[in-house]
């Protein structure tokens, strides 16, 4: 296809499209919503396409016939209201009408990216190699020294040094180098204890830097990088809370039901990335009883394998951290939308991990409704609790710890 005449407008349109529309529309194909190509022409004389894109529900409610026809045809799926200017909408429609499909992908393009960070090159094999080299040098030097000694003794008319076992030589050596030998012994002992301790600490710990991240196989190959990854990398950029919708209001973030998947996968039966996608998406259809035209079968829930498991005696609340603490999901779950084609436990979830963040993290109080009262008191410099005020004045910031984030009872029942 020819290049678009106005490359700048096309580029703007592409950006707006990928940021706002790509999770439901394709320029040239039907998806959750209709192909956008030709939409401007279809709206000619039938209604205000700008108003439609900004808030389709209003246009439907206004009784516009074409809008209502569309809405019914597309299973009453609702378009998200969007604050876009006429220029931006013009650009998107231009982009759609002049859409140039990307060059076909090579088969390897779609291959799942290996998850996780590249592992640090372990340094102990090198230690071993160097150790062995040193040993060889030491042994051969020992051999040279022995031959020299023997040669000297021979010229002096004495017999060669009697052969000793390695252990005897070692004892002799240690006896003559007592300080050095004790230090070495102590070092070895410490190293042994530390390694054993480290190892003991990793029992039952799955995330963190120390051990391989826990990443169980799931019943459907759901890929966070594709669904939640950035739009400019060709991904769908669906907001985390679209699926994990209780993260902002309750203890649990929650796993979406198959009906949430069906908002899109009723229409999207395959991906353009992987040949196995049809079979995987069919599992969603089976789970909801969708036969391709109607919901007829018996729904049977998808049994996702839980990745994160805090012990029962520890209390963790998502709303506290996401809505009140204003933390990004990624601070605790890592680059799930960038690197994890299979969800994994990224943080160690140990008590030390919780405590460390509470010790460092400053509570975001400015403009945070939950803290308006505390802020107002600070600004008026009225009496706060003694400890609060003292610690605030010391370093001008309040950490989670200073608000009680280290109290055992906050995290333990």
- Pick the closer one to ligand HEC by CB: 174 or 378: 378
Q: For residues 333-392, which are near ligand HEC according to CB under 6 A? A: 333, 336-337, 343, 349-351, 353-355, 357-358, 361, 363
The angle formed by the CA atoms of residues 343, 349 and 351, to the nearest 5 degrees, is 175
Q: For residues 80-109, which are near ligand HEC according to CB under 6 A? A: 80, 82, 84, 92
- Name the minimum Å distance from CB 407 to ligand HEC: 6
- Name the minimum Å distance from CB 193 to ligand HEC: 19
Nearest to 219 by CA among 269, 284, 264: 284
The angle formed by the CA atoms of residues 100, 105 and 109, to the nearest 5 degrees, is 135
Measured CA to CA, the distance from residue 352 to residue 409 in angstroms comes to 16
Per-residue binding letters, 182-221, with ligand HEC (x by CB under 6 A) = ------------------------------------x-xx
- Name the minimum Å distance from CB 311 to ligand HEC: 5
Measured CA to CA, the distance from residue 168 to residue 275 in angstroms comes to 68
Q: Which residue among 91, 244, 290, 402 contacts ligand HEC (CB under 6 A)?
A: 244
- Pick the closer one to ligand HEC by CB: 150 or 316: 316
- Pick the closer one to ligand HEC by CB: 42 or 377: 42
Long-range contact set of residues 366-372: C-beta below 8 Å, sequence gap at least 24: 368/324, 368/326, 370/324
Nearest to 336 by CA among 113, 119, 25: 113
> With binding defined as CB under 6 A, does residue 401 bind ligand HEC?
no
Encoded tokens for 118: 């590249």
- Pick the closer one to ligand HEC by CB: 110 or 174: 110
Total residues interacting with ligand HEC, rule: CB under 6 A: 105
Q: For residues 45-74, which are near ligand HEC according to CB under 6 A? A: 49, 53, 56, 70-71, 74
> With binding defined as CB under 6 A, does residue 268 bind ligand HEC?
yes
Assess contact for 246 and 253: CB atoms under 8 A: yes
- Buried-exposed string 274-303: b where 16+ CB fall within 10 A, e elsewhere: beebeebbbebbbbbebeeeeeeeeeeebe
Encoded tokens for 71: 């809405």
- Pick the closer one to ligand HEC by CB: 174 or 324: 324
Measured CA to CA, the distance from residue 392 to residue 403 in angstroms comes to 10
- Name the minimum Å distance from CB 213 to ligand HEC: 12
Q: Which residue among 59, 231, 374, 403 contacts ligand HEC (CB under 6 A)?
A: 403
Q: For residues 279-318, which are near ligand HEC according to CB under 6 A? A: 280-281, 284, 304, 306-311, 314, 316, 318
Nearest to 241 by CA among 261, 255, 231, 222: 255
- Name the minimum Å distance from CB 321 to ligand HEC: 4
- Name the minimum Å distance from CB 267 to ligand HEC: 9
Q: Which residue among 42, 146, 282, 339 contacts ligand HEC (CB under 6 A)?
A: 42
Structure-derived torsion over alpha carbons of residues 20, 22, 23, 27, reported in degrees to the nearest 10:
130
- Name the minimum Å distance from CB 239 to ligand HEC: 7
> With binding defined as CB under 6 A, does residue 256 bind ligand HEC?
yes
Distance between first and last Cα of the chain: 65
Give the Cβ contact number of residue 25 at 10 Å: 22
> With binding defined as CB under 6 A, does residue 395 bind ligand HEC?
no
- Name the minimum Å distance from CB 206 to ligand HEC: 10
């Amino acid at each position: 296809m020819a290049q678009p005449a106005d490359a700048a407008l096309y580029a703007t349109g592409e950006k707006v499209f990928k940021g706002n529309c790509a999770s439901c529309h394709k320029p040239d194909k039907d998806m959750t919503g209709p192909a956008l190509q030709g939409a401007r022409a279809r709206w000619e004389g039938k209604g205000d396409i700008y108003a439609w894109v900004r808030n389709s529900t209003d246009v439907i409610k206004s009784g516009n016939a074409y809008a209502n026809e569309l809405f019914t045809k597309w299973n009453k799926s609702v378009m998200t209201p969007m604050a876009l200017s006429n220029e931006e909408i013009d650009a998107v429609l231009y982009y759609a009408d002049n859409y140039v499909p990307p060059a076909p992908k090579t088969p390897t393009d779609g291959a799942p990216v290996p998850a996780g960070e590249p592992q640090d090159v372990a340094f102990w094999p090198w230690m071993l190699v160097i150790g062995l080299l040193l040993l060889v040098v030491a042994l051969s030097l020992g051999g040279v020294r022995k031959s020299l000694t023997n040669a000297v003794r021979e010229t002096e008319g004495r017999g060669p040094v009697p052969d000793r076992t390695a252990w005897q030589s070692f004892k002799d050596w240690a006896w003559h180098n007592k300080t050095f030998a004790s230090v070495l012994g102590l070092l070895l002992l410490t190293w042994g204890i530390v390694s054993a301790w480290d190892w003991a600490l990793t029992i039952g710990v799955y995330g963190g830097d120390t051990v391989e991240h826990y990443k169980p196989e799931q019943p459907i190959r759901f890929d966070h990088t594709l669904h939640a990854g950035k739009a400019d990398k060709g991904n769908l950029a669906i907001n985390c809370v679209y699926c994990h919708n209780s993260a902002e209001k309750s203890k649990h973030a929650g796993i979406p039901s198959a009906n949430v998947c069906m908002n899109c996968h009723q229409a999207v039966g395959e991906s353009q990335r992987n040949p196995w996608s049809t079979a995987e998406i069919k599992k969603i259809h089976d789970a909801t009883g969708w036969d391709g035209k109607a919901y007829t079968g018996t729904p049977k829930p998808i049994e996702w394998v839980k990745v994160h498991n805090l012990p029962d005696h520890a209390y963790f609340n998502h709303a506290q951290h996401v809505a009140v603490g204003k933390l990004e999901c990624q601070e605790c779950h890592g680059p799930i939308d960038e690197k994890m084609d299979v969800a994994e436990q990224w943080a160690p979830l140990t008590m030390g991990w919780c405590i460390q963040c509470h010790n460092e993290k400053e509570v975001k109080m400015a403009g945070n409704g939950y803290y308006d009262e505390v802020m107002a008191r600070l600004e008026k410099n009225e009496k706060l609790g003694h400890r609060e005020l003292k610690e605030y004045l010391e370093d001008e910031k309040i950490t989670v710890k200073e608000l009680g984030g280290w109290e055992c009872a906050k995290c333990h029942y």
